């Protein structure tokens, strides 16, 4: 990465960590994706049950392979199974010891803003799993909820294409505010702070490019 761009990511990541800490999340700074990966694995005890939210950042960290092969109980939503069986795994994963996921945006008010297709990711972030570990690039820091929604709409075509949904945005490359069954923007959530359950939500902010 260009030195100047890296400097900017470091500034944004440190700002985000300070904001999140002030809002009672367990916030951590990571210099790069590898450091973030090491932090995640350091937070999870062997033998624990683990669920994963759909996230490019999580994929880039290679965590799926580690949890499949290591001493963990993985709620593996990525198996090639019938759709109803995958949904049941997602339901059961709400009782996991740990949920590891990304977030669509972090505001300068300390809010986590997310848009979900099925709702399993955001519901687990809010309640269910004992611990939630969020990993996000500093590029996801935005001014407010309005800016967060704007950001979400800008990346919706990328996520829809990644999932393989034939939505209008996949054809145009931009949000079409569609009203079709395959729409991925179904559930909008805002987590205001991490105060309700002390230490439940840990957030690792990476001073680097990661995910969408």
Confidence of residue 60 (pLDDT cuts 50, 70, 90): very high
The residue-averaged pLDDT of 104-129 equals: 97
How do residues 35-57 score in pLDDT, each as one tens digit? 999 999 999 999 999 999 988 99
pLDDT at residue 151 tops 90: yes
In b/e form, how buried is each residue of 17-39, taking b as 16+ CB within 10 angstroms?
bebbeebbbbbbbbeebebbbeb
> What's the confidence (pLDDT) of residue 195?
95
Report if residue 202 sits inside a domain: yes
184, part of any domain: no
- Environment class of residue 158 by beta-carbon count within 10 Å: exposed (0-12), middle (13-18) or buried (19+)? middle
Q: How many domains does the chain have?
A: 1
Q: Is 22 part of any domain?
A: yes
Q: Per the domain annotation, does 13 fall within a domain?
A: yes
pLDDT over 90 (residue 64): yes
- Name the band, by pLDDT with cuts 50, 70 and 90, for residue 61: very high
Residue 33 sits in a domain of what CATH number?
3.40.50
Mean pLDDT for all residues in the chain: 96
Report the greatest alpha carbon distance in the chain: 48
Which of residues 179 and 1 earns the better pLDDT score?
179
On the question of pLDDT at 176 being above 90, the answer is yes
Please count the other Cβ atoms lying within 10 Å of the Cβ belonging to residue 103: 25
Q: Is residue 178 in a domain? A: no
What pLDDT, on the 0 to 100 scale, is given for residue 54?
A: 85
Q: Are the beta carbons of 197 and 209 closer than 8 angstroms?
A: no
- Confidence class for position 163, pLDDT limits 50, 70, 90: confident
Cβ of 77: how many Cβ atoms within 10 Å?
Answer: 20
Q: What is the pLDDT of residue 1?
A: 80
Structural domain containing residue 60: 3-110+123-141+192-206
Assigned domain for 159 exists: no
């Amino acid at each position: 990465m260009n030195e100047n761009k890296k400097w900017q990511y470091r500034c944004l990541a440190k700002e985000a960590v300070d904001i999140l800490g002030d809002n009672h999340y367990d916030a951590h700074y990571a210099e790069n994706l590898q450091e973030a990966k090491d932090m995640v694995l350091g937070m999870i005890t062997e033998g624990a049950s683990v669920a994963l939210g759909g996230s490019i950042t999580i994929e880039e960290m290679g965590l799926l392979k580690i949890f499949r092969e290591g001493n963990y109980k993985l709620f593996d939503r990525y198996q090639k199974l019938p759709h109803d069986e995958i949904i049941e795994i997602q339901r059961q994963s709400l009782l996991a010891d740990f949920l590891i996921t990304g977030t669509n945006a972090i505001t300068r008010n300390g809010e986590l803003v997310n848009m979900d297709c099925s709702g399993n990711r955001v519901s687990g972030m809010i309640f269910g799993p004992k611990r939630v570990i969020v990993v996000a690039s500093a590029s996801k820091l935005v001014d407010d909820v309005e800016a967060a929604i704007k950001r979400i709409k800008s990346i919706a075509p990328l996520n829809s294409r990644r999932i393989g949904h034939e939505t209008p945005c996949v054809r145009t490359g931009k949000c079409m505010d569609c009203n079709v069954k395959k729409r991925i923007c179904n559930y909008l959530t805002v987590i205001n702070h991490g105060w309700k359950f002390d230490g439940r939500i840990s957030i690792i902010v990476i001073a680097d490019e990661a995910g969408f």
